[in-house]
């Protein structure tokens, strides 16, 4: 317990962070079992990524992750960590972003007044939405969709095919026929998908 | 209902007249069958022209007759009152029908001549069902839940076998069952054969219930995989029973456990090997496409038999063969072969499923096997039921600690309630050796009762239970590109986040496997041609487009030939582009509209534009007419046509929701031509001052009702259409002159098409072709169109209609029969003018 606490103490604002993100100490839950908490784990990872020890991460720190560089939409995901105009991300934001991917816990008592948790369905969707919506105008335009499609489908299809796919995709979701997908349309079109399942990572539970 | 009774009667008659003699032929082998032989030998003096040689064909004849009877049974079950079907699952009904059939056989024979024999079941009925189940397994779902499935299949089954066996033994020792010649090992043997959930029963019942996919895959996957476990347990305990209690030592037990590993993994591995073989084989069947579909069945069956020969788990072998080969086989084979495989597989699986249930019923009608022991039977039912529940809840509790999405309590209830036992248990029970297990008949009858209880009673109550518990049902969603696209995106996002977190998680493994599969396995097992263009998203897109095209063709064929697709070369993906470049100079406004249409309507792909070209067919008929009549007639005729058409175009917009109103092509043609003829006649007679013969029009009323049906004012559609029209109108109006626009606006203001006929009559009463040109002004559209040369007009025909409504495709037929009333008007008006 001692080591856990001492590590925790080094992390600034840890209580606030835990409350906001819902990430808990495993040690707290099963009182007998002293196991490292998610936050400490993430803090270690944060420090490992932050090779120069500045206390914050830059895009190139993420770029150094080899697997991420191979990810077709990796740069977009990295971009999601940085709020517009900022070049750095501190640990607080880092954890908050990752907290999107916590599975939804059903047994947690619902407080009517509490703000919507970060890992709620619509927040998860918002995260996905902003990966498309690079110009942050709240709409996925055909071009934005095409870029993502091109990244994900790669060389396997021709440009014409890509365009028809994009057209059809927009046509499916576009309810108000403005040729773009707004967040509302995005949410509606994915209504049938179990987002809790598809946008959650087990070990962040 | 009447038809179902008819069927039942028919079948009964069929059975009595046809099957029973055959049955007697089988049972009274010596007497009846030999008879014709004797007669033959007696009459050998001359050449007999026709001989009756039952003996020759007896076996295949009986087999095929039973297949036929089972097919009829299924038919009658399906045709039965739908109330019954919705309450009792098909499998239960088939078993009950089996009781009846068995009763008939028994009544005729006084003994059960036909039974479900284990070899028949295991070699001829079971393999195709398992192959079908695995070949159409949703692989991603299966593998992402594989851990849970394995836990249920292995530990759940072992738990069931051990607890049921031990508890029964305990009760027996306590003296509940009276005097039985049975020991602990026999009880465990019985427990092991009754432990497994049966894939056939589970598929049959759960397919009708439509529970959510995760729940389904858990129950179904468990039922498939636990067969390996059961067979091993069965073999081990069978061997133990043969060895006898005292000779079992630690070594034997260890060997038993080891054999489990070998049997289960060996069987699965063998299946994978055969899957690789099959995939490689289909790589080079390009020139024997006709039989390549057969390979799937042959190799699958080979996998089953080989595993059985090596005493490995045959069911696991064929399961993994199907699961692993499906992707590559489907990619390698011709599309036709894929369809063939799909259908043939379903025919075989469905057929043998029916056979199995019918025979499970028939087998019951046999006095020989029934040994009643109330304690044993009731306790078995109780323990089977209770330990299944306990086992599921225990294992789920453990699993939920690890699962990303925990299994809910309701799902657990359904899972434990879905522990259906079936023909596999019966087959194993029937395989027992009577010498080693004196109470074999008791075991068989208990197994049968458990099977009936679970399949019929639990099957019947499953649906109400699922409804009552509000279990999440499978969403019957249409395939959507955006969902698939986002699923792909989610996968990438998750693996990226795992990378950022620096953890090796599920997604890391999934991605690693996908990459490996793509780079090496696909390279090995797939045709190079199939590897190209096989992106999943694109294939979805392709599939959606194919669906649209099929719909389009089936709709379009009713309207006329689709040859224009070929001649105009517009049916490809670039339709819009080509069309655009061709016509932008002519009609810029329309092109704008087109792009709206293409994207604006859900589930309408590019083909929706092609649909609009249908009217060109009718325009060709105009062309024919034009040859025959003088120019001025032509002018009037055309004028009149477009006068109508512009109004009809308004009407189109109201019938978007009425896809069903489609007359047959003949009728449409007929109406059209009659309209034309009557119009011509009335015109001629008007010119010559002769009274035309009045025609009785029987379609009048019908058309009116059509109009009423289509007359729902649909605000948005109408508005939209008006926009288009006024866009065109303003363009043309500017060219042709202002008076046209004035009259046009009147037209555009008509909100409800139901009122259109009434509005029309004044126009008609002025009989356009007798008036001066300005009287005809109302159709400004027709006016400006006249200025086009006929050739030009025809070429533009598809374009013109496409401007007005995306649905003009389906309204093209409405257009025709809506002309009818107008003819009526004309004819009613005619005498007035004369």
| CA dist list (Å): B294 to B333, B339, B346 | 11, 12, 14
Which pLDDT value is given to residue B344?
92
Q: Residue B262: is its pLDDT beyond 70?
A: yes
- Residue A61 scores a pLDDT above 90: no
* Interface contact A156-B492, CB threshold 8 A: no
Averaged over B724-751, what is the pLDDT?
A: 40
B724, B803 Cβ separation under 8 angstroms = yes
A97 vs B361, more confident: B361
Distance from CA of B394 to the nearest CA of A (A): 19
CB neighbourhood size of B521 (10 A): 16
What local confidence, expressed as pLDDT, does residue B648 receive? 40
Mutate to test the interface with A, among B213, B486, B504, B544 (most CBs of A within 10 A): B486
pLDDT at B6: 45
B761 pLDDT more than 70: no
Per-residue confidence (pLDDT) for residue B554, from 0 to 100: 80
Task: Decide if pLDDT at B85 tops 80.
Answer: no
Q: What pLDDT digit, counting tens, does each position of A155-187 carry?
A: 667 777 788 888 888 887 887 878 888 888 888
Chain A residue nearest residue B504, CA to CA: A203
Average pLDDT, chain B: 69
pLDDT at B820 over 60: no
Q: Are A179 and B592 in contact (CB under 8 A)?
A: no
Residue of B404, B498, B538 lying closest to A165 (CB–CB): B538
Q: What local confidence, expressed as pLDDT, does residue A155 receive?
A: 67
Instruction: Give the burial class of B87: count Cβ atoms within 10 A of its Cβ; 0-12 exposed, 13-18 middle, 19 or more buried.
Output: middle
pLDDT band at B665 (very low <50, low <70, confident <90, very high): low
Please judge whether B573 and A204 are an interchain contact, meaning their C-beta atoms are less than 8 angstroms apart: no
Distance of alpha carbon A167 from alpha carbon B541, whole angstroms: 11
Residues in chain B: 834
Residue B286 has pLDDT above 60, yes or no: yes
Average pLDDT rounded to a whole number, residues B680-695 = 60
Strands A89-90 and A139-140 come out as unpaired
pLDDT > 90? residue B563: no
Instruction: State yes or no: pLDDT of A127 exceeds 80.
Output: yes
Q: Name every chain B residue with its beta carbon within 8 A of the beta carbon of A201.
A: 404, 494, 497-498, 501, 505, 507
Residues of chain A found within 8 Å of residue B605, distances taken between Cβ atoms: 168
B562: pLDDT strictly greater than 80: no
What is residue A5's predicted lDDT score, i.e. its pLDDT?
52
Per-residue pLDDT, averaged over B544-556, amounts to: 79
Q: How confident is residue B600, by pLDDT bands cut at 50, 70 and 90? A: very low
B489 neighbourhood in chain A, CB within 8 Å: 73, 128, 131, 148, 152
Pairwise pLDDT comparison (B351 vs A201), residue with the higher score = B351
Q: Does residue B31 have a pLDDT over 50? A: no
Residues in A touching B541 (Cβ below 8 Å) = 161, 164-165, 168
Q: B473-527 pLDDT, tens per residue?
A: 766 666 677 777 888 888 888 888 877 777 777 777 887 888 888 778 877 887 7
Q: Is A42 on the interface with B (CB under 8 A)?
A: yes
Q: What percent of chain B has pLDDT over 70?
A: 61
Q: Give tens-digit pLDDT for B145-156.
A: 888 899 998 899
Question: Looking at residue B364, what is its pLDDT?
Answer: 83
What SS3 string covers chain A? CHHHHHHHHHCCCHHHHHHHHCCCCHHHHCCCCCCCCHHHHHHHHHHHHCCCCCCEECHHHHHCCHHHHHCCCHHHHHHHHCCCCCCCEEHHHHHHHHHHHCCCCCCCCCCCCCCCCCCCHHHHHHHHHHHHCCCCCCEECHHHHHHHHHHHHHHHCCHHHHHHHHHHHHHHHCCCCCCCEEHHHHHHHCCCCCHHHHCCCHHHC
Is the pLDDT confidence value at B100 over 70?
A: yes
Q: Out of B263-267, B329-333, B737-741, B780-784, which region has the weakest mean confidence (pLDDT)?
A: B737-741
Chain A residues whose CB is inside 8 A of the B406 CB are 106
pLDDT band of B184, cuts 50, 70, 90: confident
What is the pLDDT, as a whole number, of residue B303? 93
pLDDT at B642: 53
pLDDT at B143 over 80: yes
Q: How far apart are CA A175 and CA B807, in angstroms?
A: 18
Q: What is the pTM of this model?
A: 0.65
Q: What's residue B717's pLDDT? A: 40
pLDDT of residue B476: 61
The span from the CA of A162 to the CA of A167, in Å, is 9
Mean pLDDT of all residues in B405-416: 85
Nearest residue on chain B to A203, judged by CA atoms?
A: B505
User: What pLDDT, on the 0 to 100 scale, is given for residue B804?
Assistant: 39
Distance, in angstroms, between A175 CA and closest chain B CA? 8
In chain A, the residue whose alpha carbon lies closest to the alpha carbon of B491 is: A198
Mean pLDDT: which of B26-35, B105-114, B660-669 is highest?
Answer: B105-114
* Residue A86 pLDDT grade (very low, low, confident, very high; cuts 50, 70, 90): confident
Q: How many CB pairs under 8 A join A and B?
A: 150
pLDDT in tens, B72-84: 888 888 777 677 7
- Are B817 and B644 in contact, with CB atoms under 8 Å apart? no
d(CA A153, CA A156): 6
Q: Which of B552, B657, B662, B569 is nearest to B607 (CA)?
A: B552
- Reported ipTM: 0.84
How near does any CA of chain A get to the CA of B447, in Å? Answer: 40
Mean pLDDT of B167-189: 82
Instruction: Give the closest of A71, A169, A181 to B481, CB-based.
Output: A169
Most B CBs within 10 Å, among A74, A144, A202, to test the B interface: A202
Query: Which residues have a Cβ under 8 Å from the Cβ of B429 and sit 6 or more positions away?
Result: B190, B193, B440, B443, B444, B447
* B305, pLDDT greater than 70: yes
With a pLDDT cut of 90, the percent of chain B lying above it is 8
Which of A49, A198, A205 to probe the B interface (max B CBs under 10 A)?
A198
Confidence check: pLDDT of A95 > 50: yes
The answer to whether the CB of A79 falls within 8 A of the CB of A178 is no
Cβ contact A189–B497 (<8 Å): no
Q: With left for phi above 0 and alpha for psi between -120 and 50, is residue B59 left, alpha or beta?
A: alpha
Burial of B247 (0-12, 13-18, 19+ CB in 10 A): exposed
The CA-atom distances, in angstroms, between B17 and each of B10, B169, B702 are 10, 49, 51
Q: What is the mean pLDDT of residues A81-102?
A: 78
Spatial separation of the C-alpha atoms in residues B823 and B834, rounded to whole Å: 17
| pLDDT over 80 (residue B615) | no
* Cross-chain residue pair B493–A199, CB shorter than 8 Å: yes
Overall average pLDDT of the B301-313 stretch: 91
**What is the pLDDT at residue B301?**
93
Dist CA B829 CA B572 (whole Å) = 48
> Is pLDDT at B270 greater than 90 in this prediction?
yes
More confident site: B515 or B531: B515
Q: Which pLDDT value is given to residue B297?
A: 92
pLDDT band at B532 (very low <50, low <70, confident <90, very high): low
Residue B107's pLDDT band (cuts 50, 70, 90): confident
- Chain A contacts of B501, Cβ < 8 Å? 41-42, 45, 98, 201, 203-204
């Amino acid at each position: 317990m001692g080591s856990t606490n001492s590590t925790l103490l080094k992390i600034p604002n840890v209580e606030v962070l835990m409350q906001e993100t819902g990430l808990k100490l495993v040690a707290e839950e099963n009182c007998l079992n002293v196991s490292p908490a998610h936050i400490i784990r993430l803090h270690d990872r944060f420090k490992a990524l932050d090779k120069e020890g500045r206390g914050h991460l830059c895009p190139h720190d993420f770029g150094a992750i080899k697997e991420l560089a191979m990810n077709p939409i990796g740069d977009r995901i990295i971009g999601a960590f940085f709020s517009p105009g900022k070049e750095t991300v501190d640990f607080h934001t880092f954890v908050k972003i990752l907290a999107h991917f916590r599975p939804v816990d059903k047994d947690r008592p619902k407080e009517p007044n509490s703000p919507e948790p970060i890992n709620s369905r619509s927040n998860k969707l918002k995260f996905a939405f902003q990966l498309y919506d690079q110009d942050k105008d709240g709409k996925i335009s055909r071009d934005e969709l095409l870029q993502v499609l091109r990244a994900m489908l790669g060389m396997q299809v021709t440009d014409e095919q890509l365009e028809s796919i994009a057209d059809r995709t927009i046509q499916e979701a576009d309810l108000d026929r403005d040729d773009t997908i707004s967040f509302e349309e995005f949410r509606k079109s994915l209504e049938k998908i179990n987002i809790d399942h598809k946008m959650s990572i087990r070990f962040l539970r | 209902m009447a038809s179902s009774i008819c069927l039942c009667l028919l079948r009964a008659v069929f059975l009595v007249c046809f099957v029973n003699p055959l049955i007697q032929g089988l049972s009274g082998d010596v007497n009846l069958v030999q008879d014709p032989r004797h007669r033959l030998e007696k009459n050998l003096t001359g050449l007999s022209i026709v001989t009756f040689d039952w003996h020759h064909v007896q076996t295949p004849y009986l087999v095929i007759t039973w297949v036929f009877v089972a097919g009829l049974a299924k038919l009658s079950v399906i045709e039965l009152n739908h109330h019954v079907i919705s309450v009792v699952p098909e499998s239960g009904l088939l078993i009950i029908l089996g009781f009846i059939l068995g009763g008939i056989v028994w009544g005729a024979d006084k003994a059960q001549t036909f039974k479900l024999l284990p070899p028949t079941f295991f070699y001829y009925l079971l393999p195709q069902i398992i192959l079908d189940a695995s070949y159409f397994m949703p692989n991603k779902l299966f593998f992402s839940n594989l851990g849970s499935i394995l836990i249920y299949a292995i530990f759940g089954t072992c738990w069931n076998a051990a607890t049921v066996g031990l508890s029964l033994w305990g009760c027996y020792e306590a003296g509940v069952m009276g005097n039985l010649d049975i020991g602990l090992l026999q009880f465990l043997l019985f427990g092991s054969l009754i432990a497994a959930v049966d894939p056939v029963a589970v598929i049959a019942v759960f397919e009708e219930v439509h529970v959510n996919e995760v729940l389904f895959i858990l129950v179904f996957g468990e039922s498939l995989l636990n067969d390996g476990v059961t067979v091993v347990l069965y073999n081990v305990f069978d061997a133990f029973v043969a060895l006898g209690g005292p000779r079992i030592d630690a070594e034997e037990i260890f060997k038993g456990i080891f054999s489990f590993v070998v049997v289960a993994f060996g069987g699965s591995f063998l299946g994978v090997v055969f899957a690789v073989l099959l995939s490689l084989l289909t790589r080079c069947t390009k020139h024997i496409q006709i039989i390549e579909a057969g390979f799937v069945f042959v190799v699958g069956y080979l996998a089953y038999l080989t595993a059985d020969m090596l005493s490995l788990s045959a069911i696991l072998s064929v399961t993994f063969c199907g699961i692993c080969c499906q992707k590559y086989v489907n990619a390698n084979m011709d599309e036709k072969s894929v369809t063939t495989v799909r259908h043939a597989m379903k025919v075989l699986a469905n057929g043998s499923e029916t056979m199995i249930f019918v025979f499970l019923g028939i087998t019951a009608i046999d006095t020989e096997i029934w040994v009643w022991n109330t304690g044993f039977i009731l306790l078995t039912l109780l323990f089977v039921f209770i330990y299944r529940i306990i086992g599921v809840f225990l294992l789920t509790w453990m699993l939920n600690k690890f699962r990303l999405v925990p299994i809910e309590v309701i799902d657990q209830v359904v899972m434990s309630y879905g522990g259906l036992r079936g023909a596999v248990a019966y087959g194993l029970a029937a395989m027992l050796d009577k010498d080693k297990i004196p109470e074999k008949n008791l075991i068989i009858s208990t197994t049968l009762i458990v099977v009936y209880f679970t399949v019929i009673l639990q099957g019947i109550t499953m649906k109400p239970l699922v409804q009552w518990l509000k279990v999440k049902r499978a969403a019957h969603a249409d395939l959507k590109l955006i969902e698939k696209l986002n699923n792909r995106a989610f996968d990438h996002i998750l693996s990226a986040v795992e990378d950022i977190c620096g953890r090796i998680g599920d997604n890391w493994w999934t991605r690693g496997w996908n990459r490996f599969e793509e780079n090496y396995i696909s390279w090995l097992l797939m045709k190079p041609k199939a590897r190209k263009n096989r992106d999943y998203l694109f294939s979805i897109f392709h599939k959606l487009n194919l669906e649209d095209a099929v719909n389009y063709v089936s709709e379009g064929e009713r309207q006329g030939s689709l040859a224009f697709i070929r001649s105009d070369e517009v049916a490809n993906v670039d339709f819009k582009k080509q069309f655009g470049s061709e016509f932008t100079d002519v009609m810029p406004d329309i092109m704008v509209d087109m792009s709206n249409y293409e994207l604006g309507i859900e589930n309408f792909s590019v083909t929706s534009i092609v649909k609009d070209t249908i009217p060109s067919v009718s325009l060709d008929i105009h062309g024919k007419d034009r040859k025959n009549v003088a120019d001025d007639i032509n002018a009037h005729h055309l004028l009149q046509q477009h006068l109508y058409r512009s109004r009809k175009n308004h009407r189109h917009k109201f019938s978007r929701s009425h896809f069903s109103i489609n007359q047959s092509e003949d009728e449409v043609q007929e109406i059209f031509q009659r309209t034309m003829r009557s119009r011509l006649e009335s015109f001629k007679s008007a010119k010559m001052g002769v009274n035309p013969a009045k025609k009785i029009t029987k379609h009048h009323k019908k058309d009116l009702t059509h109009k009423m049906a289509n007359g729902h004012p649909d605000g948005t559609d109408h508005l939209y259409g008006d926009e288009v029209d006024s866009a065109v109108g303003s363009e043309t109006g500017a060219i042709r002159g202002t008076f046209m626009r004035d009259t046009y606006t009147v037209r555009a203001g008509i909100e409800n098409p139901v009122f259109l006929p009434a509005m029309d009559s004044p126009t008609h009463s002025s009989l356009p072709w007798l008036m001066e040109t300005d009287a005809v002004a109302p159709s400004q559209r027709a006016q400006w169109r006249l200025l086009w040369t006929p050739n030009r007009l025809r070429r533009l025909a598809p374009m013109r209609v496409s401007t007005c409504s995306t649905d003009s495709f389906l309204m093209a037929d409405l257009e025709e029969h809506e002309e009818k009333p107008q003819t009526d008007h004309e004819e009613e008006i005619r005498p007035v003018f004369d």
